[in-house]
Amino acid sequence: MKIQQDLFNIFGEEHDRFGFPDGISRVTAGHGGEAILICGSEKTALLDCGMAYCADTLVENIRKELEGRSLDYILLSHSHYDHIGALPYVKRAYPEAIALGASHVREILVRPGARKLMKELGETAREQYAPGSSFEILTEKLAVDEVIGDGDRIVLGAWELLVLETKGHTDCSLSFLLEPDRILFASESTGILERLDYVHTPILKSYEDAMESFKRCKSCGANYIVLPHFGMIPQEFNETYWALYEAELNEKMEYLGQLMSEGMTEEEIFERYAKKYWDPIKAQEQPYEAFMINSRHIVKVLLNTLRKQK
């Protein structure tokens, strides 16, 4: 099975995962989080930026799609480097664009340690996805200009983006519901589709928050769901997706609970988890080092949840 086909063409060639309405386009430049440009009748918004190493191509993609229009907003779904690493380069190209994110993103991005880690991860990604490149990984313009929160609306003209707080993956994760079309741009708190029968549940901060986010997104009445690191799923797959998310999370909890009942240490459980859930498919979207960092957080969160449930 070809990895690219397994990850992206799981619904067959007849499904266009970026078949958005006119005015919405994918401007993603490389591996990492997707970057989606939304051009409303009055304002424009870029949802996430992707990784830093391919930022020049991202900026060029944005310029082509804007066709002379300005970029008004940059929406940050959360603080991770694979989603906002290219923010400094977008801000350099469009200095008047307003970066919008959760208050916790603003707090994180002023921490020297957080910036240092993002630079290191950005350099690791550059080495993996662009070997031989000397492209500088910048962090000085990683900042939130204005804080947005649950229930806020970003007016683009006839289109409006409703901000949904969807914690779980991080404490700063946001989803966006585009109205009146009711297109949900979901956060990683509600999963990443990796196969037709498997949804990865990257809960790094809170199981309880993730379940609340899952319930909220499931019930928000979205006509279309755009998933991080994938794109739009077929409309008829919406309910199946939510069922897969819940089933996979329950299975993961049972698996870790079984390992815990066998008397394993947390380190031993982590090693078993990493071996079970690492797949070469993941390497297309994140370096192994990033997977291991995230996996440690997932194991800790879910084990703590299991202990509290006893």
Domains of the chain: 3-243 (3.60.15.10)
Residue 155 has pLDDT above 60, yes or no: yes
Residue 235 has pLDDT above 50, yes or no: yes
SS3 state of residue 233 = coil
- Each residue's pLDDT tens digit, 192-234: 998 888 999 999 999 999 999 999 999 999 999 999 999 999 9
Question: Which residue do the tokens 């297109």 mark?
Answer: 183
- Each residue's pLDDT tens digit, 276-306: 999 877 777 778 888 899 999 999 999 999 9
Tokens of 189: 């708190």
Contact 242/214 with Cβ under 8 angstroms? Answer: yes
Bridge partners (DSSP) of residue 45 are 38, 73
Residue 4 has pLDDT above 50, yes or no: no
Q: What is the DSSP letter of 16?
A: -
Residue 2 has pLDDT above 80, yes or no: no
The confidence band for 5, taking pLDDT boundaries of 50, 70 and 90, is: very low
CA dihedral 228, 8, 288, 243 (to 10 degrees): 60
SS3 state of residue 198 = strand
Q: Are strands 73-75 and 98-101 parallel, antiparallel or unpaired?
A: parallel
Q: Choose the weakest-confidence range: 1-5, 79-83, 248-252, 304-308.
A: 1-5
Question: Which residue do the tokens 């970029």 mark?
Answer: 71
**In whole numbers, what is the pLDDT of the chain averaged over residues?**
94
- Residues 304 and 300: their CA atoms lie apart, in Å, by 6
Which range among 8-12, 166-170, 288-292 has the greatest average pLDDT? Answer: 166-170
Distances (CA, A) of 226 to 56, 67, 70, 191, 219: 25, 25, 25, 11, 15
Tokens of 83: 């989603």
Q: Residue 200 contacts by C-beta under 8 Å, 6 or more apart in sequence?
A: 191, 192, 193, 194, 248, 277
Q: What is the DSSP letter of 148?
A: -
- Each residue's pLDDT tens digit, 110-122: 999 999 999 999 9
Tokens of 266: 């947390």
The reported pLDDT for the residue numbered 306 is 96
- One-letter amino acid at 43 equals K
Q: Are strands 160-165 and 174-179 parallel, antiparallel or unpaired?
A: antiparallel
SS3 state of residue 132 = coil
SS3 state of residue 91 = helix
Q: Exposed/middle/buried for 16, CB within 10 Å: 0-12, 13-18, 19+? A: exposed
Put simply, whether the predicted model's pTM sits higher than 0.75 gets the answer yes
Sheet of 98-101: strand order equals 24-26, 36-39, 44-47, 73-75, 98-101, 146-147
Q: Residue 138 contacts by C-beta under 8 Å, 6 or more apart in sequence?
A: 52, 88, 89
The enclosing H or E element of 181 equals: none
Tokens of 205: 């901060």
Residue 236 has pLDDT above 60, yes or no: yes
